[in-house]
Amino acid sequence: MSESQWGDEGQNAPAKKKVPTWVWACGGGCLVALILGIIAVVFVVKFGTKMVQEGKDPELQWPKLAQVLPFDARPPELSLEFGMSIGMEVFVLKDSRGFMAILYRVPEKSAEDVRHQMLDENFKGGPFGMGSGNRTALKAVTIHVQGRDLKGVRFHQQSPSKPKGGDETPDAGSGPAVMLEVTPEGETRPVLLQLVRTSGTDPISDEEVQTFLKPFHVGSER
Protein backbone atom coordinates (compact mmCIF):
# COMPACT_ATOMS: atom_id res chain seq x y z
CA MET A 1 0.00 0.00 0.00
CA SER A 2 1.38 3.41 -0.98
CA GLU A 3 1.97 6.25 1.45
CA SER A 4 -0.87 8.16 -0.20
CA GLN A 5 -3.24 5.27 0.47
CA TRP A 6 -2.18 5.18 4.11
CA GLY A 7 -2.94 8.89 4.32
CA ASP A 8 -6.36 8.51 2.70
CA GLU A 9 -7.29 5.76 5.14
CA GLY A 10 -6.39 7.95 8.07
CA GLN A 11 -8.52 10.80 6.74
CA ASN A 12 -11.57 8.59 6.21
CA ALA A 13 -11.37 6.96 9.65
CA PRO A 14 -14.16 8.12 12.04
CA ALA A 15 -13.08 10.78 14.50
CA LYS A 16 -12.62 9.61 18.05
CA LYS A 17 -15.04 11.02 20.61
CA LYS A 18 -13.42 13.60 22.79
CA VAL A 19 -14.29 15.15 26.12
CA PRO A 20 -15.96 18.51 25.32
CA THR A 21 -13.44 21.33 25.30
CA TRP A 22 -15.52 23.39 27.75
CA VAL A 23 -15.05 20.72 30.40
CA TRP A 24 -11.28 21.10 30.26
CA ALA A 25 -11.54 24.89 30.12
CA CYS A 26 -13.83 24.95 33.13
CA GLY A 27 -11.53 22.84 35.27
CA GLY A 28 -12.19 20.19 37.87
CA GLY A 29 -13.93 22.57 40.25
CA CYS A 30 -16.48 23.59 37.63
CA LEU A 31 -17.13 19.96 36.74
CA VAL A 32 -17.72 19.12 40.39
CA ALA A 33 -20.12 22.08 40.67
CA LEU A 34 -21.98 20.83 37.59
CA ILE A 35 -22.34 17.35 39.05
CA LEU A 36 -23.51 18.76 42.38
CA GLY A 37 -26.01 20.94 40.53
CA ILE A 38 -27.46 17.93 38.71
CA ILE A 39 -27.70 16.02 41.99
CA ALA A 40 -29.42 19.01 43.61
CA VAL A 41 -32.02 19.21 40.82
CA VAL A 42 -32.76 15.48 41.08
CA PHE A 43 -33.03 15.80 44.86
CA VAL A 44 -35.41 18.76 44.65
CA VAL A 45 -37.67 16.97 42.15
CA LYS A 46 -37.75 13.80 44.24
CA PHE A 47 -38.20 15.73 47.47
CA GLY A 48 -40.98 17.85 45.97
CA THR A 49 -42.83 14.76 44.76
CA LYS A 50 -42.45 13.10 48.14
CA MET A 51 -43.60 16.26 49.92
CA VAL A 52 -46.79 16.43 47.85
CA GLN A 53 -47.50 12.73 48.37
CA GLU A 54 -47.00 13.04 52.13
CA GLY A 55 -48.97 16.28 52.19
CA LYS A 56 -52.02 14.47 50.83
CA ASP A 57 -51.79 11.68 53.41
CA PRO A 58 -54.18 12.56 56.28
CA GLU A 59 -52.70 9.86 58.51
CA LEU A 60 -49.40 11.73 58.40
CA GLN A 61 -50.84 15.25 58.58
CA TRP A 62 -53.39 14.99 61.39
CA PRO A 63 -50.72 14.34 64.09
CA LYS A 64 -48.77 17.35 62.77
CA LEU A 65 -51.87 19.54 62.89
CA ALA A 66 -52.46 18.43 66.49
CA GLN A 67 -49.07 19.92 67.40
CA VAL A 68 -50.14 23.26 65.92
CA LEU A 69 -53.69 23.41 67.32
CA PRO A 70 -54.49 20.52 69.69
CA PHE A 71 -57.83 18.71 69.64
CA ASP A 72 -59.44 15.85 71.55
CA ALA A 73 -60.49 13.78 68.53
CA ARG A 74 -60.57 14.30 64.80
CA PRO A 75 -63.68 16.33 64.00
CA PRO A 76 -65.87 14.13 61.76
CA GLU A 77 -66.95 17.15 59.70
CA LEU A 78 -63.39 17.90 58.63
CA SER A 79 -61.20 16.20 56.05
CA LEU A 80 -57.55 17.16 55.88
CA GLU A 81 -56.86 17.84 52.21
CA PHE A 82 -53.21 18.88 52.40
CA GLY A 83 -50.45 19.69 54.87
CA MET A 84 -46.98 21.15 54.51
CA SER A 85 -44.23 21.85 57.02
CA ILE A 86 -41.25 23.76 55.61
CA GLY A 87 -40.38 26.53 58.03
CA MET A 88 -44.08 27.37 58.20
CA GLU A 89 -46.82 24.80 58.76
CA VAL A 90 -49.87 25.04 56.49
CA PHE A 91 -52.93 22.79 56.59
CA VAL A 92 -55.92 22.90 54.22
CA LEU A 93 -59.15 21.35 55.48
CA LYS A 94 -62.56 20.80 53.92
CA ASP A 95 -65.61 21.20 56.15
CA SER A 96 -68.74 19.26 55.16
CA ARG A 97 -70.83 22.16 56.54
CA GLY A 98 -69.79 24.31 53.57
CA PHE A 99 -66.37 25.74 54.40
CA MET A 100 -62.74 25.45 53.48
CA ALA A 101 -60.18 26.26 56.14
CA ILE A 102 -56.49 27.04 56.12
CA LEU A 103 -54.47 26.84 59.31
CA TYR A 104 -51.04 28.51 59.42
CA ARG A 105 -48.27 28.46 62.00
CA VAL A 106 -45.51 30.90 61.12
CA PRO A 107 -41.97 31.35 62.45
CA GLU A 108 -41.66 33.43 65.60
CA LYS A 109 -39.36 35.93 63.88
CA SER A 110 -42.17 36.74 61.41
CA ALA A 111 -44.85 37.21 64.08
CA GLU A 112 -45.18 40.98 63.94
CA ASP A 113 -45.07 41.17 60.15
CA VAL A 114 -47.75 38.49 59.88
CA ARG A 115 -50.03 40.21 62.37
CA HIS A 116 -49.48 43.55 60.67
CA GLN A 117 -50.50 42.17 57.29
CA MET A 118 -52.93 39.30 57.61
CA LEU A 119 -54.92 40.73 60.54
CA ASP A 120 -54.95 44.26 59.14
CA GLU A 121 -58.27 45.50 57.72
CA ASN A 122 -56.33 47.64 55.24
CA PHE A 123 -54.23 44.82 53.77
CA LYS A 124 -55.83 43.53 50.56
CA GLY A 125 -53.14 41.10 49.39
CA GLY A 126 -53.38 37.34 49.40
CA PRO A 127 -51.90 35.05 52.06
CA PHE A 128 -48.47 36.36 53.08
CA GLY A 129 -48.23 38.84 50.23
CA MET A 130 -49.07 36.42 47.41
CA GLY A 131 -51.19 38.18 44.81
CA SER A 132 -52.91 41.54 45.13
CA GLY A 133 -56.50 42.56 45.62
CA ASN A 134 -57.45 39.08 46.87
CA ARG A 135 -59.27 40.46 49.93
CA THR A 136 -62.10 42.95 49.56
CA ALA A 137 -64.72 44.46 51.90
CA LEU A 138 -62.42 44.09 54.90
CA LYS A 139 -63.66 44.77 58.43
CA ALA A 140 -61.89 44.27 61.76
CA VAL A 141 -63.60 41.81 64.12
CA THR A 142 -63.25 40.37 67.59
CA ILE A 143 -64.85 36.97 68.20
CA HIS A 144 -65.18 35.46 71.67
CA VAL A 145 -64.13 31.79 71.63
CA GLN A 146 -63.62 29.54 74.68
CA GLY A 147 -63.10 32.48 77.02
CA ARG A 148 -60.77 34.39 74.69
CA ASP A 149 -61.26 37.39 72.43
CA LEU A 150 -59.78 36.46 69.06
CA LYS A 151 -58.75 39.39 66.85
CA GLY A 152 -59.05 39.25 63.09
CA VAL A 153 -60.78 40.47 59.93
CA ARG A 154 -63.81 39.60 57.87
CA PHE A 155 -63.54 39.98 54.11
CA HIS A 156 -64.45 38.51 50.75
CA GLN A 157 -61.75 36.13 49.52
CA GLN A 158 -60.77 35.94 45.87
CA SER A 159 -58.95 32.72 45.08
CA PRO A 160 -55.34 33.65 44.14
CA SER A 161 -53.90 32.30 40.91
CA LYS A 162 -51.65 29.28 41.33
CA PRO A 163 -48.07 29.10 40.09
CA LYS A 164 -47.24 26.68 37.30
CA GLY A 165 -47.48 23.15 38.63
CA GLY A 166 -49.55 24.27 41.60
CA ASP A 167 -52.55 22.11 40.72
CA GLU A 168 -51.22 19.41 43.04
CA THR A 169 -52.29 21.39 46.10
CA PRO A 170 -55.84 22.55 46.92
CA ASP A 171 -56.78 26.14 47.62
CA ALA A 172 -59.49 27.60 49.82
CA GLY A 173 -61.59 28.88 46.95
CA SER A 174 -63.40 32.21 47.07
CA GLY A 175 -66.29 33.61 49.06
CA PRO A 176 -67.09 35.24 52.41
CA ALA A 177 -64.15 34.70 54.74
CA VAL A 178 -62.71 35.44 58.14
CA MET A 179 -59.14 35.26 59.41
CA LEU A 180 -58.34 35.09 63.12
CA GLU A 181 -55.32 34.57 65.30
CA VAL A 182 -55.95 31.38 67.27
CA THR A 183 -52.49 30.98 68.80
CA PRO A 184 -52.75 28.61 71.79
CA GLU A 185 -51.99 30.24 75.13
CA GLY A 186 -48.28 30.04 75.93
CA GLU A 187 -47.29 29.46 72.27
CA THR A 188 -44.79 31.96 70.80
CA ARG A 189 -45.36 31.11 67.13
CA PRO A 190 -48.51 32.75 65.71
CA VAL A 191 -51.26 30.41 64.55
CA LEU A 192 -53.81 31.83 62.10
CA LEU A 193 -57.08 30.36 60.91
CA GLN A 194 -58.78 31.38 57.67
CA LEU A 195 -62.32 30.16 57.03
CA VAL A 196 -63.93 30.58 53.60
CA ARG A 197 -67.59 29.87 52.91
CA THR A 198 -67.81 27.77 49.74
CA SER A 199 -71.59 27.41 49.74
CA GLY A 200 -73.63 30.59 50.01
CA THR A 201 -72.90 34.30 50.19
CA ASP A 202 -73.71 35.20 53.80
CA PRO A 203 -70.85 36.46 56.00
CA ILE A 204 -69.39 33.88 58.36
CA SER A 205 -71.02 34.45 61.73
CA ASP A 206 -69.42 34.39 65.17
CA GLU A 207 -71.45 31.29 65.99
CA GLU A 208 -70.11 29.44 62.95
CA VAL A 209 -66.54 30.26 63.97
CA GLN A 210 -67.23 29.09 67.51
CA THR A 211 -68.75 25.85 66.22
CA PHE A 212 -65.81 25.20 63.90
CA LEU A 213 -63.29 25.74 66.71
CA LYS A 214 -65.23 23.80 69.35
CA PRO A 215 -63.17 20.56 68.97
CA PHE A 216 -59.87 22.50 69.23
CA HIS A 217 -58.02 23.75 72.29
CA VAL A 218 -58.24 27.50 71.80
CA GLY A 219 -59.04 28.73 75.30
CA SER A 220 -59.59 27.47 78.84
CA GLU A 221 -63.41 27.60 78.77
CA ARG A 222 -64.19 24.46 76.85
Q: What is the mean pLDDT of each run of 10 residues along the chain (222 residues)?
A: 52 54 46 52 58 86 95 94 86 94 89 82 68 78 96 84 48 83 90 92 96 95 86
Q: What share of the chain is helix, strand, coil (3-state, %, to 5)?
A: 35, 25, 35
What is the reported pTM? 0.72
Taking CA atoms, 167 is separated from 46, 111, 161, in Å, by 17, 29, 10
In the prediction, which pLDDT does 146 show?
A: 96
In the prediction, which pLDDT does 31 show?
A: 47
Q: Are 222 and 127 in contact (CB under 8 A)?
A: no
Instruction: Give the start-to-end residue ranges of the domains of the chain.
Output: 56-213
In the prediction, which pLDDT does 33 show?
A: 54
In the prediction, which pLDDT does 111 show?
A: 80
Cross-strand pairs, 100: 94, 196
Q: How far apart are CA 211 and CA 166, in angstroms?
A: 31
